[in-house]
Structure formats: structure tokens, C-alpha cells
Structure 1
Amino acid sequence: MAVTASSKPSESEPEVRTAAGVLRGGREAGLAVFRGIPFAEPPVGPLRFAAPRPVRGWDGVRPALTYGPPPPQSGVLGVSQDTVGDDWLTLNVWTPGPDPAAGLPVMVWIPGGGYAMGDSSLPEYDAGHLAGSGAVVVTLNYRLGIEGFAQIDGAPANRGLLDQVAALQWVRDNIRGFGGDPDRVTVFGQSAGGGSVAALLAMPRAAGLFHRAVAQSVPGTFFSPELAADIAAAFAAELGVRPTVSGLSAVTPARLPAAGDAIFAKTVQWRERWGQITHRPIPFAPVVDGDVLPVTPWQALADGAARDVGLLVGHTRDEHRLFSLIDGVLGQVTHEQTETALHMLAPGPDGARRYRQAFPAATEEELYELVNADWLFRMPSLHLAGAQIAGGGRAHLYELTWPAPGLDGALGACHGLDVPLVFGNLSSGQTATLIGDPPSPVAEELSARIRGAWTAFASHGDPGWPPYDAVHRLAQLFDTPSTVTAYPEETSRLLWQDHTFPALPLLPLLPLLPLLTR
């Protein structure tokens, strides 16, 4: 591969030699920034639905000034599905200076988006503030939706996770040239990014590629192979093909997200087969396939798989409030909707009654939000900390309780509020709706505190509060002011204390023969 011939670099055009060739970046606010760096070959043509392949080298100097194209993805929330080019597997680096002797901590961000959406070029993921605190920050893209997570006959499972491993291998092999220490790598992510971090902790292929992990709002949804295969059959049937590499390869990448969206829109029709995931609905998740992902993260950590990896994990207080707004039920949840949610999601055969008994003063809407938040994010995150210490490791727990001031405070400490606070981009993208524009001094101060905790953890493993244990259950509550106290969601913790978050099964009904043969 040939690119622009090299000329002598200037101070404003920093250059770094990687294993594949020389990259030329730019300077922004005193940082060197490199965008759109390929870490694997484009997963198209004969490489479609395959494990990622190492990127080929190039001659001369490759400009690294613009983000790579996003992977094809869902348009459910109005995200553009337009993809220019097929070089989806790229990453971006912010560094105080590409000095190989600097030895700075490295932070690798995995975007969220339900394993169906996500793009490292979003303005809220600009890592200038984090890198300005003295870290090398990497953000990345990975395959999403059917391309990355559908269970396809003839293809490896969890291709999106394998992409993340390939990016971490690139970091191991190249980050020293950017000023990073390959022996001090922290992965961090939120929502599906947090679920990816949890999966990486359990994956033998990722062992040794990172040394600390920050998992924000970890979803509890991991699929059994049977459930994942059944969902893939529905995707393929929507497209009129079979759920195989050859069948789906006949469909252009740009067309696949529409099939995922179509199934996404009518998952309630599959409730008797797919169960709980039709309530949210959630058509994509990592698959516990026994190979790429041998067991669930909770089992792996309890077995000691990540005891040598420092873990920082937590959630927001009002995880489901944003989804209530998106679903159009905020402020108008009915008794029937609450009953459905309680019976589908609460743990144990008597879970619905136990929830009502445990929260006697809660309104219908409060119960609805509680059980949704507990099932999808709050209790999976808490249980990840518990599994880590059960396996002999160390974990720090937090909860974001500061209510977002935007929309007259209607969203509380909602899902996703932590992202702008971690990155410090309080007026970027959709952030201004939550934080308020301009952001208040209180928001700026809280963001600085959270950024400081994340970068301190990446640097030396201590975010600034005591580790979690099974006796005191101490957690950092991020608020104004922030405090360290016993984990506050004790009622929910007791309701879920015996739940194991297994791989979600395919319910025992007739197979999809009509779909597969139509």
C-alpha cells in the first residue's frame, strides 16, 4: 500500500512510526492527535464475517488527520446509516506528545450503543480533556449489529469483540511510539462498551492486553448460542437469505442494519421465544459461545479469571429514565406496563410481589423504572464488582447520583450522563440537552472530579476511595458534594442477591421452520 511520500515533519505535524508504517497527525490544544488509524484490514469481500486480519503495511507517510468511516449501524435512534468507505476498523490517539520515553498510562475507550450503534468520531468522545490530564487516550470502532454480533453459521462468534482484541493488540505493539506505556493499559467503556469491557475480562484472547478496566453501566444481557442463532435466523429471513456466511454475504453491508431494525421494531412478536430481551428490546449482545467467550463475565470473574486486573465499575442512579423518554412513557407509565415489567424482569418466581413489598411507597412509574434499571444495568454492574472480589481480585464501586439539570431535571441521573462527565465535553453533541448550555460551574467541577478519578485509576490503580468488599460495601457517590458511603441501593441488592445473570436462553418452543423455508 502506497501513501504520500514523506517530507520532513514539522512541530505542527507530528509523526510516529508504527509496525505498519509512518503516520502523520496534527496538533490540537497542545496535544498530538492521530485519527483514522487502521488496526485491521477492512472486513469486506473475502474477509467479511471473518476474524479481523492484521493491517497491511504502507510506504511513505500516511496522513492520520480524519476519522475513519463508522461501521454500518442501526438507524433506530436517528443515527445516520451512511458509511463512506469500508475501512471501519480504525482507532484514534490523543497524546501529550509522541515521546517513546514518556511512559504515560494508556486509556482505551470502547463506545456503547446497544452493540448496534456506535462511532468513535462522535464529538462527545473527543479525548482532549482526558489526554490533557497526562494520559494517552485511544478510541476505536468495531463491527456492530449483524456484522459484529449475529450468530452466523460458518463465522466466528463475537466478531465485534474480536475487533476490540485486535485494537488492543495494536496498542500493545505500537503505543510506546505515541508516549504510552504498554504495561499500563486501561480499557474503559459505557453501556455496550461497558458490557464489552466485562466480556474482555472473561476472554482468554484478551488476557494480558490490558491491566485495568473501567466498566460503566454494564448491561446484563449475554446470549446463549441457541438464542443468538434463533435471532440470526430471523434477521436472515427478513432479508430472504439463510443465516450463513454465504447467505448473508450476498447482502451488501449497508442493507444489513435495516433488517436488524425491522426485527428490533417487532421483537414483541418473539416474546414467547426470546423472553426478556423483547421487553427493552435488545436484538444484539455478546454470545457465550464456549470459545471466544467461554462463560459469562460474572462466572469468569468469580472463578478468578481477572483477579490480576484492577476493576472500577458502577452505574447511574436513574438508568432507565432516558429510555422511558425515548419510548414515550415518561410520566405516563400504566399499572399494566409496570406489571408486565415486574413479571418479566424481577428475579425469581415471586419477583413481582417481592418488588412491590420491598418498595411499598413507590409509584407505578417508580417501580417500572426500578425493575428495568436493576435488570439491565444496576445489578449487573454491582454483581460484576461482587464477582471480582469473590474471585480474589480488587474492585472499586461508584454510583452517579447527580441529576442532569437539562430538561428541567426530568431525567435525573440518567443512562449516559456519565459519558460527558468522564470526557469533559459538556457542550458537545447531545450533551448540552442533559448538562445545560452553558454548563454550570457545578457540572464543570463534577466532571473534573470524575476525570481525575478515572485518570488516577489508569495511572496507579486507585481512584481515590476504598475498594468494595462484601462487609462494608463502600461506594463513591458522584454528586455535589460527592461522598463515600455504603452502596445506597440496598433494597435492590437484596432482591437480586441470589441472581447469577446467566446467558439468556432460547425458550423451548417450536423452531423457526416457516421463516427458514419461506
Structure 2
Amino acid sequence: MRAGGRDAQRQRLHARAGRARAAAVMVRLHGGGFAAGSPVSPWYDGRSFSRDGVVVVTVSYRLGFHGFGWIEDAPVNRGVLDQIAALEWVRDNIAAFGGDPGAVTLAGQSAGGISVMTLFTAPRAQSLSRAAICMSGADRVQSRESAEERGRALAASAGVEPTTAGWSALTEEQALDAQDAFGIRTPPATIDPAAFIRGALMPPEDHGMPFGPVVDGELLPRSVSDALAEGVAADKRLLIGVTGHEFTLWMLHAEEQLRGVDIAGAMTEAGLPPELAAEYVASHPEPRRRPRSSATSPACAPSARRQALRWSRLRAATNADTTWLYDFRWPSPFYGDLAVHCVELPFVRDLLDADGVSRAHGPNPPRELATRAHAAWVSFVTEGTPGWQPWARGVGMVFNETSEEKPLLELEGRLARAAHAAWQDTPAPAA
């Protein structure tokens, strides 16, 4: 089809869409640690949102070193540029599909949530969305200097120059093999409980992920937290939340070493007040089906939960009524009655019949929970509110088989302040 024909077809589609009320749009970014993941997962199907009047766009972006690795003569945030290009496509074309380009909500979980917050605060993307949903995100930030150090080391290990020409000399399989040598860091074989606690409360700046968005001074001039503190995107709406046992499964390798360890005692040894340590451990009762995970559960939860609190408080300081919090607490029987990372995905997307859900959540996950959670997400995308009070009022929604508004993350705030007081060499959390 000639260009003129394509333009005429686009005009007809725009005219046809314009006769109906334009629908709100949700642009979804998949997770996977910036090294894996795919938009074609059955858990990313947009049919339930489409059924409820939302136009859904699920995008791909370059991953791993291809998307975020330092190359001497190439942009460092290539994956972010892919995401921005997708949002620009939505702006220019979504009306032809019945969507409103002025009513775009970003949504993502895990690395997708980090991507959402990156775009939410990136100067170049400010006009491309009006709201965001960040699920289990973190302020995953890497300096340009750290990215360059890693990029040069990776090129040296692959035996090429750290340039586009150097990397182009390798096949894709060879480049991926070189990248694998710089995979997600694994904890040491011997774990000191106090150091383990400190690492959980104050994780490394890149959260153990070798690739991801880089504060390059250009596309991303500052971290998400710094941007929010400066009031960036204060007028936009944000729904943010976590699961009850975010990273516990990833730390089950530590069960044997932590078995029998007094976690509250280890927290006290790390410098935290004993009363606060005991209170926090008591807030994570021993799971019924995986009792050993009681050792890692309270130690792994704080970092993601503290991040949600920090961002919410930074936002509340500039605009009190544009941020909503949730805490997804439904305990999956498959995962030992833990509300693990990713547990909420088929519920908020109302996809309990999708492939793999029964294996992950048992044969009868609660339908009412999916109805309530999905309705909240639809309401936020279409109406700008999930149906409960903004976090500045001091409460958020706790999702479980019975869900209710409750004060959220107050204990994490006290824990973060105590951790900073104990470890003055670490940056002060805004919590």
C-alpha cells in the first residue's frame, strides 16, 4: 500500500473511532529483571480490561545488555528509548483503535514497575501519560560510571572492543553468553544473619540486577526518588503497592543457614532497637505450609515495602491527594501460604482462567478477590481513583479474601528511620 493509501486508511480509522467516546488507555510494561520476560505471556492478556472499556497496549523493549549495557558510541538507556517510542506511537495512533491519547495510564510489575516509575519521572516522557500503576517496583538506579565499568568488563570478557562495531562482530548467541557471565548476583555461601538483615533493609543501588535504567544525565537526569522529591509528576496520579512476602522465595536458599536463628536478635545485633525488631518479626507470623520460611520472610520484606512508603511520602509532600497505596496479602497455597512476588497478577487482571494460574494458585483461587482487585484497577485507569482514600489520609487497601482499608506501612517507616539512625554511613531514607 502506498503512503497516501495508508494515510487515507488512518484518517478513516480515526474518523470512525471519533464517532464513539474515546476510551482510557493502559500501556503495560512486562517484568523480568530487565533480562527476561515477554509481553506474550497469557497473564498479560488484555481481554478483561478490554471487556471493561479499556484499550490495552502491551509493549516489548530491549533487555539485558542489548537494552541497558554501556557501549562507548551508543545511548546507554536503549530499553527506555524503546519504551518511550512505544508511548509516542500510542500518542500518535491510539485514537484509531478507539483510545484517548490524553488518558494514558502506565502499568507494570517488578521490572515493569521500575520502568513505569522511570517513565513517570523522565522529562522526555512527561506528556505521554497522565497516571501510573507501579506494582512491586524499586528505585533501581545505576550511575553512568558503574554502567561504564560493567560495560568495559563485559566487552573485555567477550574479547571485543566496547563499541557498536566490536559487539557487532559477535553473533547474538555469543553476546548473550557473554552477558550471562554478568547475571543477577547470588548471595554468598556463608551468611552472617546481621549482615543479611542490613542488606535486606538497605539493598545495593542496583538491587542485584546487572542491567536496567541508568542515570545518564541526559535521558534520565536523576533517580526516581530524587525526581519525586523535586515535585516531578506531582499532578499525575499514582497507584503503588506491594505483596506481603515480596522476595521471600528468592531467599529460600538461605533457609538452612538461617534455620534456628533468632531473626529479631539478628536485627538487634545489626543495630535496631530490640522492641522494634520484635514487633516487626511478630507482624510476619510463621506460614502454615512452609514453616522454615519464617526465617527469611521478615528479613526479605522490608526493602520493597519501604520503597513504596518512601515514594508515597515524597509524593504526599508535594500533592497530598494523588497517590494511593495497596498491600496484596492473599496467601497462595502453592507457595506455602505466602503472598509472594507476582501473586497478584492474575487477580488484578481478572485472568484466573489463564494458563498456569491453577498451577500457581491452586484450583480455586478466590473469584471475589479478582473481581474486587480488577475493578479497582479499571476504576483507577478510567476514573483516576481506585475507590479508596489517598495514602496521605494514612490508609491504603489490604487485599485478601476479605479486603479493607487500613493504616499501611507505618511499621516499615519506623524500621527505616531506625536503620538510618543505626547506620549513618547509608543515605537517609525519606520515610
Normalising by structure 2, we get a TM-score of 0.81
Aligned counterpart in structure 2 of residue 395 of structure 1, from 297, 301, 323 = 323
Q: Report what 1:414 is aligned to.
A: 340
Shift of 1:461: 0.6
Shift of 1:358: 5.2
1:403–1:413 Cα contact (<8 Å) kept: yes
Per the alignment, do residues 251 and 354 of structure 1 end up closer, same or farther by CA in structure 2, a change over 3 Å counting? farther
SS in 1 for 2:301: helix
Q: Does 1:294 align with 2:218?
A: no
1:260–1:283 Cα contact (<8 Å) kept: no
How many residue pairs were aligned? 398
Q: Does 1:205 align with 2:159?
A: no
Shift of 1:207: 0.8
Shift of 1:234: 3.0
Deviations 1:247-278 (A, max 9, x none): 22222334333322222266669xxxx99559
Shift of 1:185: 0.5
Q: Report what 1:121 is aligned to.
A: 40
Deviations 1:299-338 (A, max 9, x none): 111211101210000000110133235xx45x54526999
Within a 5 Å distance, the mapping from 1:76-115 to structure 2 comes to 101-115=20-34
SS in 1 for 2:86: helix
Q: Which has the higher helix share?
A: 2
Shift of 1:140: 0.5
2:348–2:373 Cα contact (<8 Å) kept: yes
Normalising by structure 1, we get a TM-score of 0.69
Within a 5 Å distance, the mapping from 1:321-340 to structure 2 comes to 321-324=248-251, 328-329=253-254, 332-334=256-258
Q: Distance in 2 between matches of 1:498 and 1:293?
A: 31
Q: Distance in 2 between matches of 1:259 and 1:201?
A: 32
Per the alignment, do residues 355 and 146 of structure 1 end up closer, same or farther by CA in structure 2, a change over 3 Å counting? farther
Shift of 1:482: 0.5
Amino acid in the other structure paired with 1:426 = L
Deviations 1:453-477 (A, max 9, x none): 11111111111000011xx420100
Q: Distance in 1 between matches of 2:71 and 2:213?
A: 13
Shift of 1:148: 0.6
- Percent of counterpart pairs with the same letter? 34
Shift of 1:22: 8.7
Per the alignment, do residues 483 and 149 of structure 1 end up closer, same or farther by CA in structure 2, a change over 3 Å counting? same
Q: Report what 1:370 is aligned to.
A: 298
Q: Distance in 1 between matches of 2:205 and 2:228?
A: 28
Q: Distance in 2 between matches of 1:304 and 1:336?
A: 46
Amino acid in the other structure paired with 2:74 = A
Q: Distance in 2 between matches of 1:172 and 1:283?
A: 32
Per the alignment, do residues 402 and 267 of structure 1 end up closer, same or farther by CA in structure 2, a change over 3 Å counting? closer
Per the alignment, do residues 278 and 385 of structure 1 end up closer, same or farther by CA in structure 2, a change over 3 Å counting? closer
Q: Does 1:148 align with 2:71?
A: no
Per the alignment, do residues 317 and 251 of structure 1 end up closer, same or farther by CA in structure 2, a change over 3 Å counting? same
Q: Report what 1:446 is aligned to.
A: 369
Aligned counterpart in structure 2 of residue 431 of structure 1, from 350, 357, 362 = 357
SS in 2 for 1:284: coil
Q: Distance in 1 between matches of 2:139 and 2:337?
A: 22
SS in 1 for 2:155: helix
Q: Does 1:253 align with 2:168?
A: no
Q: Distance in 2 between matches of 1:296 and 1:109?
A: 21
Shift of 1:493: 2.0
Per the alignment, do residues 252 and 226 of structure 1 end up closer, same or farther by CA in structure 2, a change over 3 Å counting? same
Per the alignment, do residues 350 and 448 of structure 1 end up closer, same or farther by CA in structure 2, a change over 3 Å counting? same
SS in 2 for 1:257: helix
Q: Distance in 2 between matches of 1:245 and 1:336?
A: 52
Q: Report what 2:401 is aligned to.
A: 480
Shift of 1:415: 0.3
Q: Distance in 2 between matches of 1:264 and 1:299?
A: 27
1:354–1:495 Cα contact (<8 Å) kept: no
Q: Distance in 2 between matches of 1:473 and 1:221?
A: 26
Q: Report what 2:212 is aligned to.
A: 285
2:17–2:97 Cα contact (<8 Å) kept: yes
Per the alignment, do residues 280 and 290 of structure 1 end up closer, same or farther by CA in structure 2, a change over 3 Å counting? closer
Per the alignment, do residues 257 and 100 of structure 1 end up closer, same or farther by CA in structure 2, a change over 3 Å counting? farther
Per the alignment, do residues 285 and 498 of structure 1 end up closer, same or farther by CA in structure 2, a change over 3 Å counting? farther
Deviations 1:363-390 (A, max 9, x none): 8954533333322x22112222222222
Structure 2 residue runs of 5 or longer lacking an equivalent are 189-198, 287-291, 421-431
Q: Does 1:386 align with 2:313?
A: yes
Per the alignment, do residues 118 and 100 of structure 1 end up closer, same or farther by CA in structure 2, a change over 3 Å counting? farther
Q: Report what 1:10 is aligned to.
A: none
